A and B are shown apart, each in its own frame.
Chain A
Amino acid sequence: MIRYATRRLIAAAVQLLIITFVAYVLFFLIADLTGANPAQRVAGKGASPARVRQIAHIMGTDRPWYAQYAHFVSQLVRGNLGYSFQRRQPVSQIVFPAAGVTASLVIGAAVLWLVIAVAVGLVGALRPRSLLDRVLTIGVQTSIAAPVFWVAPMLSYLLAYQPTQGRLLGISLGRRVDWLPIEGYVGPVANPLEWAHHLILPWLALAIGFAALYARFVRAFVLEQLSEEYVKTARAKGASEWRILRKHIGRLVAPSIVTLLGLDVGVALGGALFVEQVFGLPGLGYVGLSSIENLDYPLTVGTITFAALVAVAANAVADLAQAILDPRVRVA
């Protein structure tokens, strides 16, 4: 286990290094080549060349690329993601609170989509080709096809906006109600109830697509396992179906789901981008997008690099968790 963990952590460290390098190449070198000089951006279009040079010196963009990269990484290691000239604030002071919001969104959604996926997948696997299974399969296929940036505004419209107009799903309620907030965020420490209340729709919006993908996986996996010999043996020994699912198949499916989760953190961060925008949550996606709109270059770089680091770290943690759950992984 220790050998495996060491190897996996070294691999993660290499990946982190590569990601910072790619982030650097993307945002500094390519930006330079395409003429989007970061110093010029900070200085503004009308700045004098002397002023641009001065700002380039302050930002360090007049130094050779390897020195810039080394500086970028050494600052990153110290938790310094740069300085937003527009907001006149260190990037980390903006990114860390935003990361909390995004974590609330993604973790909550992950719990939701796991619960839905296991329930839907198990129903399908235990009663394959039944009417219920077919209906669920259609729902799953449709949910996978529906883009999150369409699901989010539709949920907001149908479940949050329409009730305030006295309607629900097109049916008149007779009076105007204000059940779910259309947008906004409340911190979990300040008011846990309001926090959950504000996040119900965002969680749902982010979770639907993933729930469908995972449900398809759980259904296929459990269905395959149910015809295995060990299930027959367990049944012959008198184990209940519930016990077989929980003790035998559950232990096999859990490691795969953990790995999937680790890989999907990065994807979910991408989805969170749209959900945060629609529901006005001040998370990483919201910060990143507004920084792109405002041409706030250091903030864009900082946000995306930070999110990438989180995704790689999550991936490594998931692999380690899988190794704990499944001994075969550590030996191979």
Chain B
Amino acid sequence: MSTIAAPLPDEVQLPVARSPAQDFWLRFRHDYVALAAACFIVFVVLAAIAGAPLVAWVTGHPPDRQYVNGLTIDGVPLAPFSHEVGPDGIHQNPHGQFFLLGTDKLGRDIFVRLLYGARISLLVAFAATGAALLIGVVLGMLAGYFGGIGDAVISRAIETAMAFPALLFAVGLAAVIGAGLTNVIAVITLFSWYYPARVVRSAVVSLRNAPFVEAAHMTGASHFRVMFRHLLPQLTAPIIVYATGVIAANILFEAGLSYLGLGVPPPTPSWGQMLSDGVSNGLYRVQPWLALIPGLSLAALMLSFQLLGDGLRDAFATKSAA
């Protein structure tokens, strides 16, 4: 007689231990919209880092080079897919330089400038978002964890900062301290730390009295350790979701400042500045591509970050705080 226990029937499913990251990936990999958005963002990042010098090298067009024959004799920039104009200044010279996305008002290659412009958009957006998150997380954590007067002060500061018309003050500040890469990053950081701070604060308040925090205290963990080793990991999901939204907002912010001539100064290309170059003198009425190309690029990048944020939120199964 065999005393071996009967094998488990096939249909019984053993519980599988999965880490939160595995859980996340299982959900996220079926979200094709968010995946496509993520791929597009990676593509833009690569295009900005590696593509820009590569394309400049292949075409032989530095981003600041002004081509005399890149404008028609009337000073109109060339449309996409055109060669530079011949001696008559009207007809294309098939042996001349080729401009994939046309030229801008100074006869510069828009394709090369678009790629170099992506560098500024992404650099400013990522740097400002990183700095804003750092400030926001630390302040939100302190306010939510300790409560009391500190919380009251930080919460009032957040409320007041939210009441500020951010763009107007940013414009004023940028006008005062002048244009420049670090200045733009500083200005945008100054006007984007408070939303993450609010999200982190309310999350910490709801977790402050959770059993695992109490347990950490019992084992003698310091306040610092509880905040950053026990509470912070609980907040990664909402912070990442929030960060994608802030990046999108900051791309727009940078473009807005550049559009108003308060971003990174020319001749360094940026999308907002390319857009305003095409719009401000009405040149886009003659050559709509001047406004279409940077505008569509901006909208596509913004949309990607939004869709990625939505996908991440669903995959983390967290509720948006906004």
Contacts and interface: CB of A to CB of B under 8 A. Distances in A.
A1 to B, nearest CB: 21
A277 to B, nearest CB: 8
Contact of B306 (A145, A292, A308, A312): A145
A29 to B, nearest CB: 10
A161 B279 CA distance: 13
Interface in A112-170: 141-142, 144-147, 149-150, 153-154, 157, 161
Contacts of B177: 30, 34
Interface stretch (B68-76, B143-151, B230-238, B297-305): B297-305
A26 B176 contact: yes
Contacts of B299: 142, 145-147, 150
B80 interface: no
Contacts of B164: 19, 22, 266, 308, 311
B265 interface: no
Main secondary structure on A side of the interface with B: helix
Interface of B: 156, 159-160, 162-169, 171-173, 175-178, 248, 252, 255-256, 259-260, 262, 272, 275-276, 279, 284-285, 288, 291-292, 294-295, 298-300, 302-303, 306-307
20 contacts: A26-B172, A34-B178, A36-B176, A141-B303, A145-B302, A146-B295, A147-B299, A147-B302, A154-B291, A154-B295, A157-B284, A161-B285, A263-B163, A266-B168, A267-B167, A271-B167, A289-B260, A301-B172, A304-B172, A307-B165
Contacts of B300: 145
Contacts, number: 131
Interface of A: 11, 14-15, 18-19, 22-23, 26-27, 30-31, 34, 36, 141-142, 144-147, 149-150, 153-154, 157, 161, 263, 265-267, 269-271, 273-274, 278, 288-289, 292, 300-301, 304, 307-308, 311-312, 315
Given A26-B172, A300-B175, 17 more contacts: A14-B156, A26-B176, A30-B176, A30-B177, A145-B299, A145-B302, A149-B256, A150-B299, A157-B291, A161-B285, A263-B162, A265-B165, A266-B168, A270-B165, A270-B256, A292-B171, A307-B165
B174 to A, nearest CB: 9
A174 to B, nearest CB: 20
Contacts of B285: 157, 161
A266 B175 contact: no
A84 B165 CA distance: 23
Nearest to A153: B279
A308 B162 CA distance: 11
A269 B168 contact: yes
Contacts of B295: 146-147, 150, 154
A328 B262 CA distance: 44
A330 B165 CA distance: 26
B171 A273 contact: yes
A211 to B, nearest CB: 16
A307 B166 CA distance: 11
Given A147-B295, A147-B298, A15 B252 contact: no
A165 to B, nearest CB: 9
A291 to B, nearest CB: 9
Nearest to A308: B165
Contacts of A150: 275, 291, 294-295, 298-299
Nearest to B174: A292
Contact of B256 (A11, A142, A147, A311): A147
Contacts of B260: 273-274, 289
A149 B276 contact: yes
A304 B169 contact: yes
Contacts of B172: 23, 26-27, 288, 292, 300-301, 304
A256 to B, nearest CB: 13
Given A142-B299, A145-B302, A34 B284 contact: no
Contact of B163 (A15, A149, A270, A271): A15
A152 to B, nearest CB: 9
A15 B307 contact: no
Contact of A149 (B160, B162, B259, B284): B259
B300 to A, nearest CB: 8
Contact of A304 (B156, B163, B168): B168
Candidate in B168, B248, B291, B299 with the most chain A CB atoms within 10 angstroms = B168
A312 B256 contact: no
Candidate in A145, A157, A312 with the most chain B CB atoms within 10 angstroms = A145
